[in-house]
Chains A and B, each alone.
Chain A
């Protein structure tokens, strides 16, 4: 028996970064908004406080803030010919759960994509010829340009109190920043986080080789900061507990700290936690959605929430699954290449290294992602791919990356994993290692996609999302190239010992790699190449908007969150200033 609730103006499915931004922008536009979140609430003052927040076992190892796989998961296989099996506990990637979502436990690296990334297909064709892009590489232009999105990037920067050093302000190259970045309308809200010793060594070595080092941009305030909502963010304490954990200092940005405190006090906003949305209600004839059905996980009761607007603001997998189950858009069929929902699933192709320095004494547990230094010389189209046999790239990062002792230790390859010799090596190297990463892009391939699994179901009987993914030849070549360049810098740092960590041939869901899953509901210029239009509006239901990295046509060589936040502001602006005045398609096909 489903209880039908009173209609609301807008319902949000998921209360992470995009749900938080939409809640604020839509209530500001005068709408009554219901926010549905499958997990519980997370109130920083109660939940992210000393001493309990410093519990590496609870958060980093036991994954307190991550999705509960007993309710649902996804299935995985490397290739279409294989049998997909359920990921019984997430490992390679860790979507979050509860208010704040994955934007709560993130490392807060905060990057913009390059102007050329937004017109990737056109750019590669212009620069390398009409036949340069292989047929199986299904990359596309974004339907929005960097210049159009820049004010939204800027707005999201000022919501988060991002710390960093600009390299390009309105076209003028600025010393000390990233000279490859697109023009920024202003300097970063906060000065960079202080750099760690190995990061500074990396910067010096990179500079010596003619590269262009700069401090990592992070959504972690380096000083107390009043954000554009009038909320005060704290100063980074260099505690070393960023990844997978909430921030006790209120310095690492999340929806919980930067925007939700404002909407929580707004009578037009109604937050319902432990509300698991199982169905999107689609009126095919009217070409609109009418609301959602959800189960209250505390009581088991099922509710229908009618709504004038539905915003899908869950993770990549949930957004794609909701459209496939509702029959909105044509499912992607990899054999024929037809269909769009589930197409262009991409990931982040990271590979790295460790280096050890006998004569140094560092404190690797002090810091945050922001203590790292980067170069962007080998990202996107910042370098010439004419004779390389691949496209794409990624930024390089060096830092201690914060190292609590369960997961943050490192010893040279070949050291025993246990016993007295292991102990001696652990003690010797804990204060003397540096870590490196290359944030490789993933350019879409027709063999990598998502669809509904024919066998496995979630706790509500719904088919799970099935991921078919493997590293492509293009991306492996790209990654090997980046690692070879990285190795040159590491050698110049003169370590006692170093180990390169190339990617294995086949993608595996076991060790953690990156929670940068993208695609499945991609945005594009018309209904024949995309699921949503440039305002993230569904081509098939004009009152349905899809948020997050599921709209990326491909994944570039940067962390996705800054672009996710900017797109939410971009879409919210179109809803408030165009759609509400005249509901209907914002782009005519």
Chain B
């Protein structure tokens, strides 16, 4: 694939290939087409699609259609896609991060009030401080991630000759490790802090309720054996004190 390939088409191709290539190997429960929840040990969901808030549009071939992004531009989305697919790679345990909806989750979080710095003390003067004093930049989470992506790509161009998402799989992992260890020199922000923010957002998107857009088809909850809602175990706690409790995962959306 040449570097001049438009990013949006590149993303589509990557996502579909991953989904198609792995569908046969995934455990039944983790497959995209196994989304219909059973009705075990839980109130019946109300009428309508069970995943109304967790988009599950499909194209004719049955592969998940891409999410509409409300904030990230194509360059940013390509970066986030490449990163979340390295953090949560497609394997026997789950689909790739982007196929779990994590890019859409991060996009929504950064577009939210939280991403805009709500409930954050934002008065100056600003000083760097010491690590024990915590985050001291004037940037909101949204600005921090967008700045980080631009600086990571600039660093990647300088070191590898191309942007992060256009690196091969091995180089991407090496680039992420350089950021994780703080060895990647960004122009203004600490690469480690950027890495941690991106990893935290990825984990939130992977493990949070699918109603927030990530964890599509309960990918991480199935992987872990976490049943989600309604989580009322008073009459089961002792019986399952020392053995695995198994239940079809349920989201907030299933009860709404």
A88-B135 in contact (CB<8A): yes
Q: Is the CB of A88 within 8 A of B224?
A: no
Q: How far is the CA of A62 from the CA of B117 in the complex (A)?
A: 11
Nearest B residue to A457 via CB reads B123
Q: Which residue of A lies closest to B212 (CB)?
A: A57
Residue A435, interface by CB 8 Å: no
Cross-chain contact B228 with A54 (CB below 8 angstroms) = yes
Q: Are B223 and A417 in contact (CB under 8 A)?
A: no
Q: Count how many chain B residues have C-beta atoms less than 8 Å from C-beta atoms of the other chain.
A: 63
Q: Which of B58-66, B152-160, B183-191, B231-239 participates in binding chain A?
A: B231-239
Q: Which of B121-150 contact A (CB under 8 A)?
A: 121-123, 125, 127, 129-136
Find out whether the CB atom of B233 lies under 8 angstroms from the CB atom of A456. no
Residue B255 lies at the interface, judged by CB distance under 8 Å to chain A: yes
- Hey, which chain A residues are within 8 Å of B228, CB to CB? 54
List chain A positions with a Cβ less than 8 A from chain B: 50-52, 54-57, 61-63, 68-70, 72-73, 76-78, 82-83, 85-89, 91, 194, 196-197, 235-241, 249, 360-363, 365-367, 371, 404-406, 409, 417-420, 423-424, 426-427, 430-431, 455-457, 506-510
CB distance from B192 to the nearest CB of A (A): 12
Contact A406 B204 (CB under 8 A): yes
Q: What CA separation (Å) do A427 and B219 show in the bound complex?
A: 12
Q: Which residue of A lies closest to B128 (CB)?
A: A85
Chain B residue with the shortest CB-CB distance to A82:
B130
Which B residues are closer than 8 A to A by beta carbons?
Answer: 86-89, 91, 93-94, 114, 118-123, 125, 127, 129-136, 173, 176, 180, 199, 202-204, 207-209, 211-212, 220-221, 223-234, 236-238, 240-245, 252, 254-256
Known A68-B119, A406-B204, A406-B208; contact A197-B242, beta-carbon cutoff 8 A: yes
Q: Which residue of A lies closest to B114 (CB)?
A: A62
Q: Would A405 and B129 be within 8 Å (CB), given that A54-B252, A57-B204, A197-B241 are in contact?
A: no
Contact between B230 and A86 (Cβ–Cβ < 8 Å)? Answer: no
- Docked-complex contact B121 and A237, CB < 8 angstroms: no
> Which residues of chain A are near B121, meaning CB under 8 Å?
69-70, 72-73, 86-89
Instruction: Please give the distance in Å from B108's CB to the nearest CB on chain A.
Output: 11
Which residues of chain A come closer than 8 Å to B254, judged between CB atoms?
51
Whether B234 pairs with A238 at a CB distance below 8 angstroms is: yes
Q: Are B134 and A50 in contact (CB under 8 A)?
A: no
9 A-B residue pairs with Cβ-Cβ distance under 8 Å, sorted by A, are A83-B129, A361-B242, A362-B242, A366-B240, A409-B224, A417-B180, A423-B88, A509-B133, A509-B134
Smallest beta-carbon distance A472→chain B, Å: 15
Query: Could you say which residues of chain A place their CB within 8 Å of the CB of B93?
Result: 420, 423-424, 427
User: Of B135, B224, B234, which one neighbours A405 at CB under 8 angstroms?
Assistant: B224
Contacting residues, chain B, for A418 (C-beta < 8 A) = 86-88, 176, 199, 202
Least CB separation from A76: chain B residue: B133
